[in-house]
Amino acid sequence: MLAALPRSAGAASFKQGMRALVGGVTVIAAQDRSGACVGVTATAVTSLSADPPSLLVCVNRLSSIAAALEIEAAFSVNVLSFGQADVAQAFGGQLGVRGTGKFAYGAWHRSEHGVLLLDGARVSFECVVAKSMDWATHHVVVGRVTDVHFGHAGAKPLVYHDGRYGTVE
C-alpha cells in the first residue's frame, strides 16, 4: 500500500526556506503593448537548453512586466554585477519607484533590435517568448535567446541570500 503524499508546505515556511538558496540577481526588461518600458528584479531565472539556447523565467502575474511577456514578445535578462544593488532594489520595489521611473537606476540602451539592455551587467540575454504558462501566482516563460551581450569579464556577480545582496569571491 502506498503512503499518502504529504500536503504542500505553507507559504511562510516555503519563503523562509528559499531564503537559504543563493540566487543570481537579474533584471528582466521589456516594452508593454503601449510602448512603455517595464521591468522587474528576478532571481527565478535559469538556463533551460543550449540547443536551442533558451532561458526559463518566472515572474509574478501581478507584476508590471507579466502582461508584456506574450508569445513572440522581445525581452532582456540582465545579470547584475555587484555594484548594481541599487538597480535590483529599484526594480524589486524596495525603493518605492514605480513604472518607467525604475529606468532612472542604471544606464540603459537599446540593442540593434530595440531590446532594452543594462550597461554594466555581467551579461545580457536578448530573448523572444517562445512559450508560456501560468502556475499559481506566477507566469512561467520560456525565452528563446536571440543574442548575448557580454559585460566586463572581471565584474563580480550580485547575489541574493537570506534577504541581503552580496557577492561571491
pLDDT digits (tens, 9 = 90+) for 74-111: 999 999 999 999 999 999 999 999 999 999 999 999 99
pLDDT, mean of residues 162-166: 89
Whether 1 has a pLDDT exceeding 60, the answer reads no
Count Cβ atoms below 10 Å from residue 123 Cβ, excluding itself: 17
Q: Are 61 and 139 in contact (CB under 8 A)?
A: yes
Cα–Cα distance for residue pair 157/50, rounded to 1 Å: 22
Q: What pLDDT score does 152 carry? A: 80
Cα–Cα distance for residue pair 46/90, rounded to 1 Å: 22
Single-letter amino acid, residue 152: H
Q: pLDDT by residue (tens digit) across 28-80?
A: 999 999 999 999 999 999 999 999 999 999 999 999 999 999 999 999 999 99
Local structure of 89: helix, strand or coil = helix
Single-letter amino acid, residue 32: D
Residue 10 maps to a domain? no
Is the model more confident about 15 or about 62? 62
Overall number of domains in the chain: 1
List the strands of the sheet with 123-135, edge to edge.
37-42, 26-31, 74-79, 123-135, 138-150, 53-60, 45-50
Residue 133 maps to a domain? yes
Residue 164 maps to a domain? no
Residue 163 maps to a domain? no
Residue 43 maps to a domain? yes
Cell of 118: 543594462
CATH of the domain at 83: 2.30.110.10
Residue 3 maps to a domain? no
DSSP 134: E
Cα–Cα distance for residue pair 65/147, rounded to 1 Å: 20
Residue 20 maps to a domain? no
Cα–Cα distance for residue pair 16/99, rounded to 1 Å: 29
Single-letter amino acid, residue 65: I
Which residues form the domain of 109?
Answer: 25-154
Q: pLDDT by residue (tens digit) across 120-158?
A: 999 999 999 999 999 999 999 999 999 999 998 789 999
Residue 147 maps to a domain? yes
Do you find a cis peptide bond into 52, omega within 30 degrees of 0? yes
